Chains A and B, each alone.
Chain A
């Protein structure tokens, strides 16, 4: 499918995830032990046959993200015909209101204009889902709509997806408006920030957005011009998560302990690619207990792990209990330590403090590199 090039848009500074985001953008967050969030949108593109990709880098501390992406070879992108480009937007540090997706597109307009493809597929870097964009593009072309967008129907909009946008649809799935999710109603169509349109229309939208307002986003300009545009929505089925705060990050990981959901998200027919670290298998010792959990390679497990996600190279010592936790790579829970409802960031160690407990609806965060 060479008809479209892909854009992985950046959530930039729009969301702030407590603690975690001090060290890396949301797209570089570790997910389900061995992935990073960005692996999902890029694998979706690659599996859909889109191998010319623009990945926008628009947040602070992009080191771990750029290191992870590298040449893009890990995503099975064709090494000659395909290309993964990282595009940087000029960050406005005085006022983050200026750091919109459109500002990034405008700054890289020459590169967008130079692409050969007629269509563009845009998908965000802070959402986790799988979707076949080839099918989406074909449906878009068939429908003759100007723009096709993707949404996820939820009955949970009062408590989840706050800060995301919702689609107001007519019965024919035409988009009447794109609005913020104010959390006032439970049934909502959450907009998945995913668009398919002709490249020319995309360029036109970016340019007209810049003329109207320096802080307009792509969804705002579409919303402003909705009366003149035929915008249609397609419903997404399957697992969907938006990482907008620590709680949503915590929940999205733990929700996947339901193996059915996990195998819907990652399966041999739709592989999710990531960077290997060549860590060895995990070693489990006598006296350990591991239930309802995902464990990545390179760990040493002597204690108890329950309802948790454990990243690569973690250490769980004798008598330790790790319950409802996300352990990021190379973290350690020491002898006799009890940890519950924690996000334990990379390289941190809980050794001296013997009990770290938070409530499930307000998980705790253990800072990267800290020793407790």
Chain B
């Protein structure tokens, strides 16, 4: 194991604010950015940071997610001594089968797994965020500061700070207080849900937390406060770059639209920090003789014969002749049939918009999620 650090990705959540998109798959398996799934980001970041053992904690609708992440070769995590371990709740000799009751409980239930690697450090990640980050730099920071825990934070606009878990720090970056969604935030440093713990310290605190009847067994609510109560060294590691929680239809749409910006700091075209994903055998993207395209992010297998403006098209999406797709996201295999018009919408995987149908509108407050076939207009 490189770096003496093991990564655990929390990927058990449903992401219920994504509505129908997560009816059949867990949020980390939701598609993003034309060809990726959300979980590709933490997995690729691990691979690129030289972390070669990754546990993925799954729970909600995990069949697709389990088989997806288990194909560790996609991220280059398939050499000897490396691997992606799928960790749904399991029955053990000395404990009954129990669901993961919280983010911390998911780790506690896998202490035996973690111990087999005997890591010095544990990296906890969330499977819900879009960002590129070199975790090895964060680890160097953690070691340099002799921290027991290091939490990655990002500066958010002060007026939005009350939507996040906020870290209040002293002049050296030491965390003195943690407030979950504070009404009157004292700082704008939001937790990114990325933690590095010195494993033997965390292990002790997790075991103690298990015994507390009122605990939620949650990192934000219980474990971080316990570190503070014990007077442990908690450091804030400030991240500067693109980071987005894609928890709602609007924010998922927005994160996709961000890719249209030439100056977008996420820059998925950087060959030094590739995001890896499933490979599909499909033709390159095709544009018909009448195609019109402007400001778009389009991937392999797409067929554009109509108009695409300010939009992101995912693998095998199709826009038929005379159809228009404006300010929208077409998920994998979505089809917009002849003459149909799609505006400010997110069309879910494989959904067809029938001939001449009109969905979404330019002045809608929210992005329209289209998760079922829309009949054509004759």
Contact = CB atoms under 8 A, between A and B. Distances in A.
B33 interface: yes
A281 B330 CA distance: 14
Which DSSP category, helix, strand, loop or mixed, fits chain B's interface? loop
A278 interface: yes
Contacts of B272: none
A279 B33 CA distance: 12
A259 B301 CA distance: 12
Interface string A288-306: 1111111111101000010
Nearest to A285: B295
Contacts of A266: 281-283
B283 A284 contact: no
Interface stretch (A230-238, A268-276, A353-361): A268-276
B287 A295 contact: yes
Contact of B290 (A288, A291, A294, A298): A291
Given A280-B269, A291-B291, A262 B275 contact: no
Interface in A246-291: 259, 262-263, 266, 271-274, 276, 278-291
A316 interface: no
A296 B300 contact: yes
A284 B294 contact: yes
B279 interface: yes
A282 B299 contact: yes
B84 to A, nearest CB: 17
A34 interface: yes
Nearest to B291: A291
Size bracket, chain A contacts? 35 or more
A304 to B, nearest CB: 11
A259 B299 CA distance: 17
A286 B284 contact: no
Contacts of B284: 32-34, 294-297, 309-310
Contacts of B275: 278, 280
B205 to A, nearest CB: 39
B35 A280 contact: yes
Contact of B295 (A286, A300, A310): A286
A291 B299 contact: no
B319 to A, nearest CB: 13
A149 B290 CA distance: 42
Interface in A141-190: none
Contacts of A281: 33-35, 259, 268, 297-300, 312
Nearest to B302: A281
Contacts of B312: 281
Nearest to B283: A266
B296 interface: yes
Contact of A294 (B35, B283, B292): B283
Contact of B277 (A259, A278, A291): A278
Interface in B263-318: 268-269, 274-277, 279, 281-300, 303, 312
Nearest to B76: A278
A297 B294 CA distance: 16
B240 interface: no
B41 to A, nearest CB: 12
Contacts of B262: 283, 285
Interface in A9-51: 32-34
A231 to B, nearest CB: 34
A282 B287 contact: no
A63 B56 CA distance: 38
Contacts of B294: 284-288
A281 B269 CA distance: 8
Given A288-B294, A296-B300, A297-B300, A272 B288 contact: no
Nearest to B300: A297
Interface string B8-52: 000000000000000000000000011100000000000000000
A282 B300 CA distance: 9
A276 B324 CA distance: 30
A297 B285 CA distance: 8
Given A34-B300, A281-B35, A284-B298, A290 B293 contact: yes
A190 B283 CA distance: 27
B288 A273 contact: no
B288 A294 contact: no
A280 B315 CA distance: 11
A284 B279 contact: no
Contacts of B35: 280-281, 297
Nearest to A278: B274
Given A32-B284, A282-B285, A296-B300, A276 B279 contact: yes
A291 B304 CA distance: 9
Interface string B353-365: 0000000000000
A305 B293 CA distance: 11
A368 to B, nearest CB: 19
Contacts of A300: 269
Interface string A222-249: 0000000000000000000000000000
B327 to A, nearest CB: 14
A284 B293 contact: yes
Interface string A330-361: 00000000000000000000000000000000
Contacts of B287: 290-295, 305
A298 B269 contact: yes
B337 to A, nearest CB: 16
Contact of B286 (A262, A276, A280): A262
Interface in B172-206: none
Nearest to A287: B294
Nearest to B270: A280
Given A272-B281, A278-B274, A284-B294, A259 B34 contact: no
A262 B284 CA distance: 11
Contacts of A296: 284-285, 300
Given A281-B298, A282-B299, A287-B294, 6 more contacts: A281-B259, A281-B297, A284-B294, A286-B295, A293-B286, A296-B300
23 contacts: A32-B284, A259-B303, A273-B281, A278-B274, A280-B268, A281-B34, A281-B259, A281-B268, A281-B299, A281-B312, A283-B260, A283-B269, A285-B262, A291-B288, A291-B289, A292-B287, A292-B288, A292-B291, A293-B287, A295-B285, A297-B35, A297-B284, A300-B269
The 6 residue pairs across chains A and B that have the minimum distance between CB atoms:
A281-B34, A280-B268, A271-B281, A281-B299, A33-B284, A276-B279
Interface of B: 33-35, 259-260, 262, 268-269, 274-277, 279, 281-300, 303, 312
